[in-house]
Structure 1
Amino acid sequence: MSDLILHHYPTSPFAEKVRLILGHKQLAWKSVFIPMIMPKPDLTALTGGYRRTPVLQIGADIYCDTALICEVLEHLAPTPSLYPVALNGAARIVTQWADTALFTAAMAYNFQPAGVAQVFAGTPAEGVQAFVADRAAMRSGAARMSSTDAAATYKSYLRRIANMLHGQDFVLGAQPCVADFALYHPLWFTQERTPALAGILDATPEVKSWMARMKAIGHGTPGKCSAEEALQTAQSSTPVSVQGEVFQDEHGIALGSQVVIAADNFGLEPTEGDLMAATRTRYTLRRTDERAGTVHVHFPRVGFTLKKAAA
């Protein structure tokens, strides 16, 4: 198997979710740091447009969105499982809630002035302004929850997590599952990146104890890799064949068609390519880039839209 290459940056909450899963599964991986804001030319040479963090690369296969990355890591290292059979549905539902509603409230709370001052300590004003503009563009102009509304919502959500932890070490039982990693990463940002605001966690000691257990998992065995080395890896590799995978057609678009895939709610930059697979759970596009060569870019179905490319 080719090396696991994670394209991320240290303060990314969703990257922390994947870094901890790599640690949980005791996997070795290579780290490529990417910019926090656009442009991200080395990353988009691989993805064709998708810019959210993190992205997992295995040879010439590029996996977008943490929901799909979790599935890929589970396939590569089934033990310990992220999806215990008896909890599979519940774990996925909690994960989806955590990655959307909980994340939105937590980050709106974290980015009030006291949090911004800590996150951007030492950053020139123009750097802060560029970040704010970048994230506004990712929201496509949608309003962000106010910090006061976010605080009330976040407190309510923390109480729900505490209730889930009552009498057990992890949210759905004695061992961590995918839901734990999804719930942890927005709270990690509060605790580690905006400690001036971390007092909100004090009212839920069960949550703080669980966070200590999650942090202790660690990040596995990371190694360094440059963006150029990652691009060379893609160019010198061949994507894994998707021939024989069951085609599930929901759009009336034939395999081999030129299509566009984009997220449906945040970070809407499109990726265009040839539709190579549309399975029950994911899409695969083939695209060729001067720097990356021919790659397969994979997306989960949930949270992404598929349409024919303009003629």
Structure 2
Amino acid sequence: MTELILHHYPTSPFSEKIRLILGYKNLPWKSVIIPMVMPKPDVVALTGGYRKTPVLQIGADIYCDTALICDVLEHLQPTPTLYPAPGKGLERILAHWADNTLFWTSMAFNTQPKGMAQMFENAPPEMARAFIEDRKAMSVGMARLRPADAAAAYKSYLRRLSDMLDDWPFLLGDAPCIADFAMYHPLWFTRVRTSVLAGILDATPAVLEWMDRMAAIGHGSMEKFSAAEAIAVAAASTPAPLHDAHDNVFQDEHGIPLGSRVQVCGESFGPEPSEGELIAATRMHYTLSRSDERAGLLHVHFPRIGYQLKAVAPA
């Protein structure tokens, strides 16, 4: 198996989701630390525009969005599974809710003034301003909860998570599944990054105990790697063939044939598009072929859910 290269930064909650899964699956990985805000020239060299965190690189294949990254890691290392039977559908739906509702509720709570003050207490004022402006650019048009409304919802969600832990050490059974990893990372940010606000967790001790069990999984075997080294790996590699059975089934929902010049972008958060030739549009994902002067020929992969596909008009 080609080495796994994770482009991330330490305080990224979605990166913590993937770091824990790498540890759970005992997959060794290389760590490339990327900027928290734009510009991100080395990331964009690989993705063509996508700039959310994290990104998984395997040779010249670039995987965007943690929902897709989880599927890739499951394929590479099926055991222990992230999607145990018979509840695979429920597990995925709960994970999607966690990534798109629980996450934004927690972050609206975490980024109230006390939380922001702690996040940037040792940083120059311009860093906090740059972070705020960067995230505004990524969330144009998104509805955001006010901190007080977020606090009320967050407390309710924590009680419901506690209820799920009445009979099991993990949310849906004796072992963690994708729902555990997806629900853990927003709470991890509260507990670790904005600990001044972590008292909200104290009313649900079962959730805190579950978080301890999740944290104990660890990040596995990691080796530091540079962005320049990662780009050199891409340039020296050839994208993997689209060999999976589903990769060869074209599912056309847009009237855009394979081989077309297209853009893929997020539906809401992170609207920056990646552009390339559409070489796969399956039931689960899109794949674009693109070239970069430093990284060479790349295949950039996106999940269908949460992303928009658009044809690029001829010049």
**TM-score with structure 1 setting the length:** 0.99
Residues 185-230 of structure 1, C-alpha deviation per residue, up to 9 Å, x if partnerless?
A: 0000000111110000011111000000000000010101100000
Q: Distance in 2 between matches of 1:287 and 1:83?
A: 32
State the 1:305 CA deviation. Answer: 0.4
Q: Which residue of 2 aligns with 1:140?
A: 140
Q: Secondary structure at the match of 1:45?
A: helix
Counting only pairs closer than 5 Å after superposition, residues 102-251 of structure 1 correspond to structure 2 as: 102-242=102-242, 245-251=248-254
Matched, 1:304 2:307: yes
TM-score normalized by the length of structure 2: 0.97
SS for the counterpart of 1:129 is helix
Q: Does 2:266 match 1:272? A: no
d(CA) in 1 for partners of 2:141, 2:85: 40
Shift of residue 142, structure 1, vs aligned partner:
3.3
Instruction: Using the TM superposition, give the Cα deviation of residue 310 of structure 1 relative to its aligned residue in structure 2, in angstroms.
Output: 2.4
| Contact 1:263/1:304 (<8 A) preserved | yes
For residues 92-103 of structure 1, what are the structure 2 equivalents within 5 Å?
Answer: 92-103=92-103
Aligned residues with identical type, % of pairs? 64
Q: CA deviation at 1:242?
A: 1.9
- Selected match of 1:287 from 286, 290, 296: 290
Aligned to 1:46: 46
Mapped partners of 2:87, 2:307: distance in 1: 25
* 1:242–1:276 contact (8 Å) kept in structure 2: no
The offset of 1:141, in angstroms, is 4.4
Structure 2: any 5+ residue segments left out of the alignment?
Answer: none
Structure 1's unaligned 5+ residue stretches are none
Shift, 1:87, TM fit: 1.2
Q: CA RMSD in A?
A: 0.9
Secondary structure at the aligned position of 2:291 is classed as: strand
Q: What's the counterpart of residue 260 of structure 1?
A: 263
Alignment of 1:11-30 (within 5 A): 11-30=11-30
Moved more, 143-152 or 256-265: 143-152
Q: Which runs of 4+ in 1 moved over 6 A?
A: none
CA distance in 1: counterparts of 2:137 and 2:156, whole angstroms: 29
Shift of 1:143: 4.5
Match of 1:10, SS? Answer: coil
Cα distance in 2, alignment partners of residues 144 and 307 from structure 1: 26
- How many residues are treated as equivalent by the alignment? 311
Matching residue's letter, 2:311: K
Whole-angstrom distance in 2 between the partners of 1:68 and 1:268: 18
1:281–1:301 CA contact under 8 A, matched in 2? yes
How far did 1:88 drift? 0.2
Kept in 2, the 8 Å contact 1:9–1:33? The answer is yes
Residues 66-88 of structure 1: per-residue CA shift (max 9 Å, x gap):
00000000000000000012010
- Equivalent pair of 1:263/1:269 in contact (CA under 8 Å): yes
The amino acid that maps onto 1:256 is G
